[in-house]
Structure 1
């Protein structure tokens, strides 16, 4: 599942590090919206008004040296349930996801945030060529659950808040099985929050950043990647994907990092592409150069980038590829990778990876 288990790690890690400076809250929210038919083949699906409910438990992080860089973000877990816009064909979706909300303002009375969340979801109806052939978006009962949105929260009293939100919620299996157009649901939400332990805001010493020349202090990593990919026709064979990425990473500012990678990819599904062309294990190897932007959150970082194939003999998906996901850097050098690789808006496969950073060192030091 794309962007799932590693994202759950973030709230778990932070929840385990209790501090008297952090405020715990829970909220309930009702949402209403519509199913966005992002492909012409989905035009027949949007029939029912979307109705959803959410229960969230989270805290506002004030106690970390990095939290002030992000105006003290909210980190937590949400339980989710809704119909999917067509009860007869798509059924219902349920799940849970970890999330981070980044405040845009420093006000303690009214807080406007942007939200990103990822987790696991279960749907009740999937594609079946005999009993449910019109369900072209979903072929797996278990899917990734993604939420992106903005939210305003008004604390009418120190412990009581009202919420208004706009978001997109997405179910998809990351192209591990076809068909997989996924569902995109657009919501407006109203909710209530209660602060269980409202702590007085305190100033935490900010991190100091060591500026060094561009060509110095890059972290060097090697990441092994394993995945699988199913191709059309529906119900076809699943093919393994093997890859190795040599990566350079550097953090330039508190919220800005960059990575450069050389990717070597063996995608076994290429053997099924134009089968009349003879192929070997050596000939299907793809080599790509990649550049990515990172948003660091302590040792956890979000990844967004684009690459180009330097070697791709069969040019199955075009010359460019893209990545969106996350990485987690352990203090002992281990690096965990969970990234969706795509060709523009078309999902290719999910990169499940484990690697090692040979010269890992934190760029921040306490005053």
Structure 2
């Protein structure tokens, strides 16, 4: 979780600029909890009602990636509200960084895709005695992920918008039960521009990522808990040897050879003798990269080249974010999963050799 907070700080610190247009916004939200597993039918009790407060910038061309992404809006939002059952889950509080990328835009109107990630705090979680029906979450601090589409209309310093989003809360299988919460919302918002852009800046094409391969390595640590509830936590380690190539300012590809040690594999067949070497896995991963200068969003799929017992699916997935510092050091926070089932969160630190 500290890695995620550091990444969010990097996002905001690298973009805040006295020359950029800035806005504040408030959005009431109404939604409902999806029972995405049959055993969650009992948790759906009421509508989800929430409010978000946002502070954000609008790109004006200062960064080379502003133009390829149609001068996106990016900032931070605060979330407060219910998630579908106040008795079981209470009122959630959260904060996340987001980016809204215009797909259709005119002088006043924009239609955008929006991505966000951060942290949330849950006052009520699973407890085997006092709250044993709250099987969706078992930790007070969880990741918050938001995906949305947004329609926006501006009139002078005022703006109104309508957003449909899917908000997800989960701890990434660090502790069970962790079925997660999926809450679609609709919202109407009002924004006010508190500072105009001082100048329109020509993109600095010298900063554009060059079209060559760069190589690096990332060390990964994590922890995973498996059923039964209250059981042992199992450490996970890994090393990813990766190559990365940029094709355009907003498009890149990443390929990695992954070496993974997951000690929880021994729980899949406790009667089968298993050595430490048997718990090592190896895979090859191919991902799509969205670079925003030093900040990257990564998503893709991998295939196990070595998985001795094959307790899980032969493919795995990753989605997450990374920040690459000027000296080549990089940190990342990535969710590894098997389709829609979280495996564990990869907290990593690494180095890019050619940059």
Using the size of structure 2 for normalisation, the TM-score is: 0.95
Q: Secondary structure at the match of 2:88?
A: coil
Q: Say whether the 8 Å CA contact 2:119–2:141 is kept in structure 1.
A: yes
Match of 1:14 in 2: 14
Partners of 1:327 and 1:130 lie apart in 2 by 39
Structure 2: segments with no counterpart, 5+ residues: none
1:54 aligns with 2:47: no
Q: How many residues align?
A: 353
Match of 1:283 in 2: 278
Match of 1:237 in 2: 232
Partners of 2:11 and 2:297 lie apart in 1 by 15
Partners of 2:13 and 2:166 lie apart in 1 by 26
Partners of 2:49 and 2:107 lie apart in 1 by 31
Q: Out of 145, 152, 167, which is 1:169 matched to?
A: 167
Match of 2:106 in 1: 107
Match of 1:363 in 2: none
Partners of 1:123 and 1:251 lie apart in 2 by 39
Cα RMSD, aligned residues only = 1.7
Q: Deviation of residue 286 (structure 1)?
A: 0.4
Partners of 1:198 and 1:7 lie apart in 2 by 27
Structure 1: segments with no counterpart, 5+ residues: 361-367
1:62-101 equivalent positions in 2, closer than 5 A = 62=60, 63-101=62-100
Q: Deviation of residue 331 (structure 1)?
A: 1.1
Partners of 2:2 and 2:10 lie apart in 1 by 15
Partners of 1:3 and 1:166 lie apart in 2 by 28
Partners of 2:35 and 2:204 lie apart in 1 by 45
1:261 aligns with 2:256: yes
Q: Out of 267, 270, 276, which is 1:272 matched to?
A: 267
Q: Say whether the 8 Å CA contact 1:104–1:112 is kept in structure 2.
A: yes
Match of 1:329 in 2: 324
Partners of 1:203 and 1:4 lie apart in 2 by 31
Using the size of structure 1 for normalisation, the TM-score is: 0.92
Q: Deviation of residue 4 (structure 1)?
A: 3.0
Partners of 1:210 and 1:313 lie apart in 2 by 39
Residue 2 to residue 180, structure 1, CA distance change in 2 (3 Å): farther
Q: Out of 195, 198, 207, which is 1:197 matched to?
A: 195
Partners of 1:169 and 1:3 lie apart in 2 by 21
Residue 171 to residue 6, structure 1, CA distance change in 2 (3 Å): same
* 1:329-354 superposed Cα distances (whole Å, 9 cap, x missing partner): 11101111110000111100000000
1:339 aligns with 2:337: no
Q: Secondary structure at the match of 1:36?
A: coil
Partners of 2:280 and 2:245 lie apart in 1 by 28
Q: Secondary structure at the match of 1:133?
A: coil
Residue 196 to residue 240, structure 1, CA distance change in 2 (3 Å): same
Q: Say whether the 8 Å CA contact 1:266–1:286 is kept in structure 2.
A: yes
* 1:246-282 superposed Cα distances (whole Å, 9 cap, x missing partner): 0010101122111111111111111222111111111
Partners of 1:184 and 1:196 lie apart in 2 by 33
Q: Deviation of residue 205 (structure 1)?
A: 3.0
Q: Say whether the 8 Å CA contact 2:27–2:190 is kept in structure 1.
A: yes
Partners of 1:237 and 1:336 lie apart in 2 by 28
Q: Deviation of residue 295 (structure 1)?
A: 0.7
Match of 1:246 in 2: 241
Q: Deviation of residue 359 (structure 1)?
A: 1.6
Match of 1:364 in 2: none
Partners of 2:209 and 2:126 lie apart in 1 by 54
Match of 1:29 in 2: 27
Partners of 2:161 and 2:18 lie apart in 1 by 25
Q: Say whether the 8 Å CA contact 1:7–1:119 is kept in structure 2.
A: no
Partners of 1:305 and 1:136 lie apart in 2 by 29
Q: Deviation of residue 94 (structure 1)?
A: 0.6
